[in-house]
Amino acid sequence: MRKKTAPIAALVALSGCGVFDEACTTDIQPGIIITSVRDAVSGTQLPSPRGAVRDGEFMDSLREWDSGRLAAAWERPGTYDVEVVHDGYLPWTRTNVRVRDASCHTQKVNLEATLAPQP
C-alpha cells in the first residue's frame, strides 16, 4: 500500500507561509505609505509631493498609490530614511523607519508628512 504523504506535507508547508491567512493576497503591497502631505501652518493638503526612501544602497521613489497616498518599499523589509519634498517647502524627513517582514506581506508603516514653508 502506498502512503499519501506528499499532499499532506504540502498542506502543512503552505499553512506555515500564510497561504491560508485571510489577509494574504497575490498583489504587491508597499511597506511605507505616506497617508497625507500637509502644510504645517494651514494644514491644507499639498498637491503633487515627491520623495524617496533609502535603506543603505537601496533607493525607491515614492509613487502615488491608492487614492492619492504615496507609497514605496514594495514587499521589502528594511530600515529606511524617508524624505518628502514639495516646491516652496523645507524637506520633511524621518529616519530609521522600520518595515518588518510578515507572513504574507511586509507590515505597512503609515506616516503623515507635515512640511514647513521655506522662510
| pLDDT in the model for residue 103 | 85
Q: Is the pLDDT of residue 7 over 60?
A: no
CATH 2.60.40.1120 for domain 26-115, yes or no, is yes
**pTM metric for this prediction:** 0.78
| pLDDT in the model for residue 35 | 97
Q: Where are the domains of the chain?
A: 26-115
Residue at 32: amino acid letter: I
Residue bearing the bigger pLDDT, 89 or 104 = 89
| pLDDT in the model for residue 13 | 47
Residues in the chain: 119
| pLDDT in the model for residue 8 | 46
111 contact partners, CB below 8 Å, separation of at least 6: 32, 33, 34, 35, 82, 94, 97
Average of per-residue pLDDT values in the chain: 87
Residue 4 per-residue DSSP state: -
- Report the percentage of the chain scoring pLDDT > 90: 72
Q: Is the pLDDT of residue 2 over 80?
A: no
Instruction: Quick: pLDDT tens for 13-65.
Output: 444 554 444 568 899 999 999 999 999 999 999 999 999 999 999 999 999 99
From the list 79, 104, 106, 83, the residue with the least C-alpha distance to 94 is 83
